[in-house]
Amino acid sequence: MDKNDRSYSNEEITVHWKPKECIHAGTCFRELRKVFDPSRRPWIDLGQGTTEQIIDIVERCPTDALTFERNVTNGVTSNETSSKPVTAEKVTFSVMRNGPILAEGKFTVIKPDGSEQEIKSITSFCRCGMSRTQPFCDGTHNKQGFFPDNY
């Protein structure tokens, strides 16, 4: 566990947040801003949405940055937790609105210096030119506003 990891609970579930796993796809704050608000501290407030809404968003987080588990009630644990299988022969590159390109699948990245990196399941590529971890996204576009057009 990383020292920056956090957990947030409501009466039914506990959401775990691992910032090092985040690839800044932005699904959480775009679709459920009341709960996931990067400008607020703490940025996750489970009291602002229903458990169903929160689980839906957590399950659509493309990495394990957001996961959840059911809370123990009356000594009975539920085995239901989020799982994010990533299957791919074909690699899918999804353009995120005002955000990076989300790449899902197994493939090889060749960086500008010629070095290679194997991607096992998922990564995201910078589209705004401002990331400091090129060619990957580091979330800088959120600070800069990125560009105003749809893509």
Binding mask 123-142 for other proteins (x = CB under 8 A): --xxxxxx---xx-------
Closest contact distance (angstroms) between CB of 57 and other proteins is 17
Which residues contact residue 115 at a Cβ distance below 8 angstroms, ignoring those fewer than 6 apart? Answer: none
Q: Which stretch binds other proteins (CB under 8 A): 32-40, 45-53, 57-65, 93-101?
A: 93-101
Q: Which stretch binds other proteins (CB under 8 A): 6-14, 52-60, 66-74, 110-118?
A: 110-118
Q: Measured from the CB atom, is 63 or 124 closer to other proteins?
A: 124
d(CA 51, CA 48): 10
Q: Which stretch binds other proteins (CB under 8 A): 3-11, 34-42, 45-53, 91-99?
A: 91-99
- Count CA atoms closer than 13 A to 84's CA, side-chain side: 18
Closest contact distance (angstroms) between CB of 81 and other proteins is 27
| 101 binding other proteins? (CB under 8 A) | yes
Which residues contact residue 9 at a Cβ distance below 8 angstroms, ignoring those fewer than 6 apart? Answer: 15, 46, 71
Residue burial 64-83, b: 16+ Cβ < 10 Å; e: rest: ebbbbbbeeeeeeeeeeebe
Binding mask 1-40 for other proteins (x = CB under 8 A): ----------------------------------------
d(CA 75, CA 67): 22
| 46 binding other proteins? (CB under 8 A) | no
Select the residue interacting with other proteins from 41, 90, 132, 143 (CB under 8 A).
90
d(CA 20, CA 33): 21
d(CA 31, CA 37): 10
